[in-house]
């Protein structure tokens, strides 16, 4: 069998005897470059808003004395993360407009690393070579499903690589490149990674990493995920159906750090409000800080609800039912199995310490996703997603 060859556009750099870097060319985004104006416009709005938001308390602090000066300046500086986000969006838009992005893949020393070089900022992700099972080529562009307009495909000529792993945590590599460029790269990577696995795994029934091609919206083949060793989740699977009970995790573990952050936020607001009231400020200033009091109280309530809720999930009689029992309210829903499109783990839309909080997601056909268990570990989420997919397939007779 002949050794696969790389296209001339991809540079292969030997960094050492065991490490190889594959550098892809700059992306040809075409008409998509015009979308760079969107983050620029939103970034300008965020930047201007945060600048005026910060200027109020900082200016008040500079005209005060004693501890009030430092509290005012400190409170204003809390807006620096928001200002950084605004400036970052502007930079991202400029990078898109000027097409300053490309991908790199590094293989060696037991890992594969995917790098997205956006301007001068590298974004890195990595997986162990021993975890890899397949390299999938996701072709067919980006599929977006709209409830009113059906399914729309953007940039159908573009593809991406996806490293599929035994842990159920795939890693995207080299997105938004032509299929003709990625296919030979996938073959070269598979050959190199298979040698790396053979050198690492002495006894393996499947040391060879295969290359498969999938459409953009085609789900990956499930890889078995074992139950995490340290979990208090209980499952009962018998002839009547499947029942899963997920108990609450408590304030510290269950709130993903949000409870501690809300305590710090509200504690600061208490001190700031007491000191501010001694200076007899005008009523508009009280109305201004009431917004931050509302944010702190909402964070505290959300953290308590997140930490104290119990979740029950059942698959029985061709239905998937779940019940979320929280300290403030209980919600439940029943979903016919034939209306479920996918069960997966995905970002919840919330971030803690600039990291996305993941959740177990039930994706109905033509409907809005249902997010559960954002306060559980990724291992538990991935295991439950796999367990539920197997139960659904068994109920559907697959």
The answer to whether residues 193 and 13 touch, using CB atoms and an 8 Å cutoff, is no
> Please, what is the average pLDDT of the chain?
80
Cα 14 → chain centroid: 32
SS3 250: coil
Best mean pLDDT range from 9-23, 224-238, 251-265: 9-23
Question: What pLDDT was estimated at residue 219?
Answer: 57
Give the pLDDT band (50/70/90) at residue 1: very low
Give the range with max mean pLDDT: 43-57, 166-180, 186-200, 339-353: 43-57
Taking only the tens place, the pLDDT of each residue in 377-393 is: 878 888 888 888 888 87
Helix 283-308 and helix 258-277: axis angle, to 10°?
Answer: 160
* Residue-level pLDDT at 217: 57
Amino acid 23: pLDDT: 95
Task: For residue range 98-115, list pLDDT tens digits in order.
Answer: 878 899 999 988 888 999
* Beta-carbon count within 10 A of 172 CB: 14
User: Which pLDDT value is given to residue 196?
Assistant: 55
pLDDT at position 114 is: 93
State yes or no: pLDDT of 148 exceeds 90: no
Confidence of residue 216 (pLDDT cuts 50, 70, 90): low
- The residue among 224, 169, 238 whose CA lies nearest residue 387 is 224
Residue 303 pLDDT exceeds 70 = yes
**Alpha helices by DSSP H, 21-79:** 37-62, 67-77
pLDDT band with cut points at 50, 70 and 90 for residue 208 = low
Write down the architecture of domain 11-28+99-215 according to CATH.
Answer: Roll (2.30)
Residue with tokens 């970052």: 88
| Matching residue, tokens 């998509």 | 32
Tokens read off for 9 = 């556009």
Q: What's the rounded mean pLDDT across residues 59-84? A: 80
CATH of 234-248+309-395, one of 2.30.29, 4.10.860, 3.50.50, 1.20.80: 2.30.29
**Domain boundaries, given as residue ranges, for the chain:** 11-28+99-215, 34-98, 234-248+309-395, 253-307
Tokens of 394: 């068994």
pLDDT at 329: 84
pLDDT, tens only, 316-344 = 888 889 998 888 888 888 988 888 888 88
CA atoms within 13 Å, Cβ hemisphere of 105: 28
For residues 282-303, average pLDDT: 84
Q: Are 346 and 336 in contact (CB under 8 A)?
A: no
pLDDT at residue 149 is higher than 90: no
Give pLDDT tens digits for 179-191.
889 999 999 998 8
Task: Note the pLDDT tens digit of each residue in 227-250.
Answer: 888 888 888 877 777 888 988 877
CA distances from 242 to 38, 71, 91, 144, 332 (A): 46, 55, 49, 32, 17
What pLDDT score was predicted for residue 200? 42
| pLDDT class of 151 with cuts at 50, 70, 90 | low
What phi and psi values does residue 165 have, to the nearest 5 degrees?
-120, 165
The pairing of strands 330-336 and 132-139 is unpaired
pLDDT of residue 13: 93
Which pLDDT value is given to residue 377? 80
| 11-28+99-215 and 234-248+309-395: identical CATH topology | yes
């Amino acid at each position: 069998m002949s050794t696969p060859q790389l296209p001339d556009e991809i540079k292969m750099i030997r960094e050492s005897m065991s490490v190889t870097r594959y550098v892809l060319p700059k992306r040809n985004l075409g008409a998509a470059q015009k979308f760079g104006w969107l983050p620029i416009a939103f970034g300008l709005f965020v930047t201007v808003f945060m600048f005026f938001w910060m200027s109020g308390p900082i200016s008040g602090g500079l005209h005060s004395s004693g501890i009030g000066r430092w509290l005012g300046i400190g409170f204003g500086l809390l807006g620096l993360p928001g200002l950084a986000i605004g400036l970052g969006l502007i930079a991202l838009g400029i990078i898109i407009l000027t097409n300053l992005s490309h991908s790199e893949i590094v293989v060696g020393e037991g890992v594969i690393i995917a790098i997205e070089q956006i301007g001068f900022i590298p974004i890195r992700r990595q997986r162990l070579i021993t975890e890899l099972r397949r390299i999938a080529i996701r072709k067919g562009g980006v599929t977006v499903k709209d409830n009113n307009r059906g399914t729309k495909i953007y940039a159908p000529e573009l593809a991406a690589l996806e490293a599929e792993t035994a842990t159920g945590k795939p890693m995207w590599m080299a997105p938004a490149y032509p299929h003709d460029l990625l296919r030979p790269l996938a073959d070269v990577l598979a050959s190199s990674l298979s040698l790396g696995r053979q050198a690492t795994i002495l006894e393996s029934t499947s040391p060879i990493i295969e290359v498969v091609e999938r459409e953009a919206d085609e789900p990956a083949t499930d890889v078995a995920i074992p139950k995490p060793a340290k979990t208090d989740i209980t499952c009962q699977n018998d002839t009547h159906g499947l029942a899963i009970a997920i108990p609450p995790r408590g304030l510290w573990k269950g709130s993903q750090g949000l409870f501690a952050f809300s305590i710090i936020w509200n504690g600061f607001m208490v001190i700031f409000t007491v000191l501010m009231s001694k200076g007899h400020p005008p009523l508009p200033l009280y109305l201004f800080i009431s917004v931050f009091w509302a944010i702190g109280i909402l964070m505290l309530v959300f953290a308590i609800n997140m930490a104290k809720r119990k979740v029950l999930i059942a698959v029985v009689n061709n239905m998937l039912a779940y019940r979320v029992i929280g300290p403030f309210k209980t919600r439940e829903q029943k979903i016919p199995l034939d209306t479920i499109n996918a069960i997966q783990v995905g970002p919840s839309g919330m971030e803690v310490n600039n990291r996305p909080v993941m959740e177990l997601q039930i994706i109905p056909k033509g409907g809005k996703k249902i997010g559960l268990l954002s306060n559980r570990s990724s291992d538990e989420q991935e295991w439950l997603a796999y367990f539920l997919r197997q139960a659904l397939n068994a109920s559907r007779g697959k």
